[in-house]
Amino acid sequence: MVHHLDFTTHIRLAWHALSDGWHALRNDGWHALRNEGRGQQSERSNAAGRGDESQAGRVDVVDLHAHRLAALGVPPLFPSDNFPTPPRTDRTLVTLKTIQPGSAASLSPKSQLTILGDVERVVGSGFRDRLDACGHPELRRTTLQTLQINVGKVCNQTCSHCHVDAGPTRRESMSAATATAVLDFLGRSRVTSLDITGGAPEMNPNFKRLVAESRALGKRVIDRCNLTILLANGFTDLPQFLANHAVEIVASLPCYLEENCDAQRGNGVFKKSIEAIRGLNRLGYGRPDSPLQLNLVYNPVGLGLPPNQAELETEYREQLLERYGIRFNRLFTITNMPVSRFLEDLLRRGKFEAYLQHLAASFNPATIEDLMCRSLLSIDWQGYLFDCDFNQMLDLPTLVDGQRRHISEIDDGEFESLPIATGNHCFGCTAGCGSGCGGSLT
């Protein structure tokens, strides 16, 4: 339903947005405002192509007033074709100023698959040939253990490596009806874990219901959290809510150094992440005397593979405790997948072929038995089935009897031994020590 606001209310919302903008301006400087407009976005795209990261990674001020109105279902006073309306929510939608993707138009899933499968770009055998050579003509599923749901692409950040291409202007968000179908499936399923991701999954209006009802069913619940959302207006009650329901938090922190983290996730994100972790520690998360689990995620800032997970975890633990007095349980190392925003970045820099060859040359057959797609089912925001979150972004669905299926139509037993859709992007999960949502595989 569309709400019609009077002029006074428009002025009030505009005043709040102006106040937010002034604080952003004070913190980030006047250069942030000069990045507005398509001409500046084009310049950033050109700069990325030249390898000029100082320009490609500049900061934008998000139009908070337009978001506030859109979140209420109210048309803006001055319509703009560059500001898609996000899904309606009962909360005020406040966004951070973050690194922008660098190009106005994203590659379609079909275009990405064409690039990834281009034999002229891939020297040697492709992923399926590698599987065949080591005795796996195709990957097949084992027992289903984890249901991972992507509740949408709405996010308060726009990170440069994001394979979901999430951000504050995205509109995709799981409906109440689809959330009900997910809970119905969990009620009749032997699945032990619900893994909730996004975007920022907490921004979906069904998030708390999904958590509370899944926990009531006895399921382990994982929240893949960007940390900064825990400090955003309208979401500051989340840490206590997550603790009350013993939700396991898996949080991105690609480096314990501020400069490296902000280069990937946006100016100011590191400081907010540290502040959020301190708040979680006060609630018991990450502490050795508490059952509340806080696990951090590392992914490389550059083009290399993650280092040894156990060794890096020790280094993170020492550095974060010494520098900031914060604690966590485990560190997961995850390889950057050549999909979506990261793929586009590789192409702009002319690094795609080299990166894919590096992944292919590092193929490790020992990772195959523990690939996450063998025991995980991924559900998109509309409720359709995929083998993993990366296949979602490439629109490679899980087929049952040759048909695309919805979460409302299926049961556990239908998935055992089903073939898994693969492509050359799968080299990202089998390179080196392997990579999955739980970190290193070997």
pLDDT of 96 reads 44
Is the per-residue pLDDT at 44 higher than 60? no
pLDDT of 155 reads 92
Q: Average pLDDT in the 303-328 region?
A: 94
pTM: 0.76
Which strand (E) or helix (H) includes residue 360? Answer: helix 352-361
In this structure, are residues 13 and 65 in contact, taking their beta carbons and an 8 Å threshold?
A: yes
pLDDT of 312 reads 94
Is the per-residue pLDDT at 69 higher than 60? no
In this structure, are residues 180 and 206 in contact, taking their beta carbons and an 8 Å threshold?
A: no
Structural domains of the chain, ranges and CATH numbers in brackets: 1-95 (no CATH), 109-430 (3.20.20)
pLDDT of 426 reads 95
User: Rounded CA gap, 160 and 227, in Å?
Assistant: 17
pLDDT of 269 reads 87
User: Rounded CA gap, 262 and 56, in Å?
Assistant: 13
pLDDT of 167 reads 86
Distance of CA 230 to the CA centre of its chain: 15
> What are the phi and psi torsion angles at 273 (to 5°)?
-65, -45
Tens of pLDDT, residues 427-440: 999 999 999 989 88
Q: Model confidence at 119, in pLDDT bands (50, 70, 90)?
A: confident
Surface-to-core class of residue 398, CB atoms within 10 Å of its CB (0-12 exposed, 13-18 middle, 19+ buried):
buried
Q: Lowest-confidence range among 130-134, 318-322, 328-332?
A: 130-134
pLDDT of 17 reads 38
pLDDT of 53 reads 37
Q: Model confidence at 123, in pLDDT bands (50, 70, 90)?
A: low
Q: Average pLDDT in the 307-324 region?
A: 95
pLDDT of 341 reads 87
395 CB neighbour count, 10 Å cutoff: 15
In this structure, are residues 86 and 387 in contact, taking their beta carbons and an 8 Å threshold?
A: no
Is the per-residue pLDDT at 6 higher than 50? no
Q: Lowest-confidence range among 101-105, 164-168, 182-186?
A: 101-105
pLDDT of 99 reads 37
Is the per-residue pLDDT at 103 higher than 50? no
pLDDT of 39 reads 38
pLDDT of 263 reads 76
Tens of pLDDT, residues 10-31: 344 344 334 433 333 333 332 3
pLDDT of 391 reads 95
Q: Is 330 helix (H, G, I), strand (E, B) or coil?
A: strand
Tens of pLDDT, residues 187-218: 999 999 999 999 899 999 999 999 999 999 99
Q: Lowest-confidence range among 36-45, 203-212, 233-242, 245-254?
A: 36-45
More confident residue, 163 or 99: 163
Q: Average per-residue pLDDT in the chain?
A: 79
pLDDT of 185 reads 96
More confident residue, 215 or 160: 215
Q: Average pLDDT in the 344-355 region?
A: 92
Q: Average pLDDT in the 351-369 region?
A: 94
CA distances from 411 to 18, 143, 182, 400 (A): 51, 12, 11, 11
CA quadruple 348, 128, 304, 380: dihedral, nearest 10:
70
Structure-block tokens of residue 116: 């990834």
Q: Is 378 helix (H, G, I), strand (E, B) or coil?
A: strand
pLDDT of 116 reads 93
Show the beta-strand stretches assigned E in 54-142. none
pLDDT of 156 reads 86
Q: Is the dihedral of CA 365, 371, 374, 375 positive or negative?
A: positive
